[in-house]
Structure formats: structure tokens, C-alpha cells
Amino acid sequence: MNNGHREQWASRIGFILAAAGSAVGLGNIWRFSYVAGEQGGAAFVFIYLIAILLIGYPLMVTEIAIGRKTQKNPIGAFKSLAPDTPWWIVGALGVLTAFVILSFYSVVAGWSLAYTFKAFGGFVPGLDYEGIFISHITDVYMPIFWHAAFMILTLVIIASGVVKGIQRWSKVLMPLLFAILLALVVRGLTLEGAGAGVAFYLTPDFTEISGETFLTALGQAFFTLSLGMGALITYGSYLSQKENVSDSAGWVVGMDTLVALLAGFAIFPAVFAIGFDPAGGVGLAFITLPAVFAEMPLGGLFGFLFFLLLTIAALTSAISLLEVVVAWLIDEKGWDRLKASMLMGLIIFVVGLPPTLGYSVLSGVTIFGMDILDTYDFLSGNILLPLGGLLTSIFAGYIWRAKSVIDEANNPKGKIVFGQWYGYVIQYLLPLAIGAVLIWGIISTFIE
């Protein structure tokens, strides 16, 4: 056990920006946009916002409270609150989840980093952007190079520490992210024909809503807030007892949701203005949008800004994912930060090689009928994340007890006060909702 001085965020805004950076990632911009497109636009967004409020926010407060109360990594936190019980396994699940997610998240982030540089050459109308993307991911060496480049960026920040690394860079990257996103929103909204995209995004058609829409919105809310992966427990462990948990979490949720909503205003008006399909699936960012930028005045500049935005969002999330694993080694094994960062970064890079090569030399390998990257994504997003969230909510509601979470969330008292209503949410609503997402994720993959 590491008994040395434990770092804390130097300021409340440092924690908020870092935690918001953890929540803001590819899920807000890349995944939110194509899922909203596939699920019918405004109706999905409406349900998503309700899910954020009723499910996402209470669980985020719970995770931050666990970390702040114990001042430990996820495994140490559960050991501290439930000593001599197997509940530490829930913390271990969070560490494992962060490890698995970062291993393939870095691959996709590497694509974004590569496209940031591709955008320097501009996007030319009429090119086969689907072919260009396929050519990129089926190459053997270039995806490995960009995967490594992205992991190195993440390592450099984590190795520098909580204040000098994570907090310092969050204060730079998050304002930059918002500035770029606002520029893209203005560009999208001023295109001729953008009104159709705004209407698609803001006019709900509730006849399109199905059970799948509700579950997809719940899953997206869960995924985008970095819940169930130990990141918020870890970040909460660096939070001073002087700072209010519920208010800080409110700012994080607000910033995360604002980025997702703004991303829709940046993407859908542009897609409709140029005449493309908003339900572009996972290829929306790397196939559809380059074609959109090619048709747009100053498209090269705005294409560069978009992929820079995507890369920054991915980096702020990757930092939190690696910190979960590194904090465990520092707290539980007594390692120094540099050694822990370098070793785990290298291992995660190696574990990420199979999905990196999954479209080239390992393209014939399928697991459960999925390619390697989709398998990693399924295991983490459909199994590990909701399972971790489900067990955390059960632990908070029945083992640590809802009153303990309420006391920690309200100490010191903030503008958002947690009352008895929280007990009903954490004991009944969250387990039922997250359990439904977990079951649906498995059924939709193997049965439909």
C-alpha cells in the first residue's frame, strides 16, 4: 500500500474540467451523432436527456461520493467501505473495464488523429471516402503507428501527475474543445439548407419511439458519462472534502450533455445541407463527414477542426481511463507514477494490437460473429460497463446505504441537495434501468 502523499485537485474548477473531460469523449461526438441519426433524431434526444437526469446524474454522484469518501482507487474504495467482503471485486471490475476500453478506444482515437493530419491536404469533392477509410483501417502498419502515437500522448499527461498532468491539460483541452465545437456549430448552421437538419434534430416524432429507442438512450447516457468504469471513483478520490459532490457532478453532467447536444448542431445541419444520410452508422465521422466537408466552403479547415475536436475529446477520456489503472498500482502496489504509467501504457498498447489488426492480417478472425474491435466494444460496452454500474448502485443502495451516500453528497451542503428521493432512485430505479440495458445489450447481439 502506498502511504505517501496523495495528490488532490488544486481547485474545484480543475476537478470539474478533468471529470467533464473524462465524460466528454468519442461517445458524445462520434457515437451520439450516429446513434441519434439511426434512432430518429429529436425523439431520441428527448429520451436521452431524461435518462441523463434520472439515471446518469444520480449514479455519477454515487461514484464520486465513493471516491471522495475513501480517497482511494476503485478496488481500495470498496475494500474500505466493505472490509473483509468480496465487494472489492466490483472495484476490480472497474479497473478491468477501463483497461479493456482504452485498449480499443486508442485504436479509434488513432483513426481520428490520422484524419486530423489527412485534413491538412483538404477534402476533394467526388473522392471515394468509403474506400479511403477502408484503405486506412486495412493497412497493417499505419493504424499501429497512430494507435501508438495516441497512447504516447495519453502516457505523457498521466505520467506528469494529477495536478501537473491531468488538471493542467484539462484546463487547456476542454476550453479548446468548446471553442472548436462552437465554430463548427456556426459553420453548420449558416450553410444553405441547414434548416432541414435543425428540424430533424429538434422536432420529435414520437410515433418513431420503440422499446429499443428507450434502451438505446439509456445505454448512450450511461456510456457517455464514463459510468461503471472506475474513472469517476478515481477522480473523486482526488477531490477535497471542502468541495460539494452534488454541485460538482451537476456541472460535469451539464458540460458533458452540452457537448453532445452541440455536436448534433454541428453535424446534422451540415449533413442535411449537403444531402447525405444522417443515419450513417459508425461511418458517419470517417466516411460521411469528409464527403460533407469536401462540398462545404472552407471544408478543409472545418474538417481539420472537426477531427482535432474528436481527437481532443478522445484524449480527455483516455487520460481518465489510464488513470484508473495507474491509481490502482500506485495505491495498492506502492509503485511510483512513472513506472506504473509506462508499464500499463505498454501493456494496454499491446492488448490493443488485435483490434488494430482486426481489419488487416486478423480480418478473418471473428468472435461471436463479430470482428475483434466489435468484440472488445461489446464486452466492455454491453457487459462490463452496465454490470459495473448495476453492482455499484446495489452496493450504494443496500451495503453502504443510501443515507451514507446522501450524507457524503451533501457535505458540505451545496445548491443541489440530495434527499430521501435518492434512496428510491439508487435502490429501485437504477438497478432496474441498468439491468434492462444489460439484458437488452446481450439479447440484441445474440438473438436479434
Domain containing 430 — which CATH number? 1.20.1740
Residue 6 lies in a domain: no
Indicate the residue type of 156: V
Tell me: the pLDDT tens digits for 210-250? 777 888 888 888 778 888 899 999 999 999 888 899 999 99
* In the predicted structure, residue 192 carries a pLDDT above the cut 80: yes
Number of H helices, E strands in the chain: 23, 0
Q: What b/e readout covers 253-268, taking b as 16+ CB neighbours within 10 angstroms?
A: bebbbebbbbbbbbbb
* In the predicted structure, residue 31 carries a pLDDT above the cut 80: no
* In the predicted structure, residue 290 carries a pLDDT above the cut 90: no
Residue 204 lies in a domain: yes
Residue 170 lies in a domain: yes
Q: Which residues contact 210 (CB under 8 A, 6 or more apart)?
A: none
Task: Note the pTM of the prediction, 2 decimals.
Answer: 0.91
Residue 62 lies in a domain: yes
CA distance 97 to 328: 13
CA distance 221 to 253: 10
CA distance 57 to 73: 21
Which residue has better confidence, 282 or 38? 38
Rounded percentage of the chain residues whose pLDDT exceeds 90? 47
At residue 279, the pLDDT reads 62
Residue 1 lies in a domain: no
- The mean pLDDT value for 4-31 works out to 82
- Among residues 271, 291, 113, 104, which one has the least CA distance to residue 194? 271
* In the predicted structure, residue 44 carries a pLDDT above the cut 80: yes
- Between 7-21, 93-107, 328-342, the lowest mean confidence (pLDDT) is in 7-21
Peptide bond into 412 cis (omega under 30): yes
Bridge partner list, 367: 370
Tell me: the pLDDT tens digits for 317-356? 999 999 999 999 998 888 999 999 999 999 999 999 999 9
* In the predicted structure, residue 191 carries a pLDDT above the cut 70: yes
Range of the domain at 285: 12-446
CA distances from 99 to 47, 230, 352 (A): 30, 10, 10
* In the predicted structure, residue 2 carries a pLDDT above the cut 60: no
Tell me: the pLDDT tens digits for 48-70? 999 999 999 999 999 999 999 99
At residue 3, the pLDDT reads 45
The band of 96, judged by pLDDT with boundaries at 50, 70 and 90, is very high
Rounded percentage of the chain residues whose pLDDT exceeds 70? 97
Helix axis angle, 299-333 to 88-118, nearest 10°: 150
Neighbours of 170 (CB within 10 A): 26
Tell me: the pLDDT tens digits for 114-167? 999 988 878 888 888 889 999 999 999 999 999 999 999 999 999 988 888 888
Which residue has better confidence, 162 or 281? 162
At residue 1, the pLDDT reads 42
Q: What b/e readout covers 289-323, taking b as 16+ CB neighbours within 10 angstroms?
A: bbbbbbbbeebbebbbbbbbbbbbbbbbbbbbbbb
Mean pLDDT of the chain: 88
Residue 4 lies in a domain: no
Tell me: the pLDDT tens digits for 345-404? 999 999 999 999 999 999 989 988 889 998 998 888 888 988 999 999 999 999 999 999
Residue 5 lies in a domain: no
Number of domains in the chain: 1
Residue 2 lies in a domain: no
CA distance 325 to 323: 5
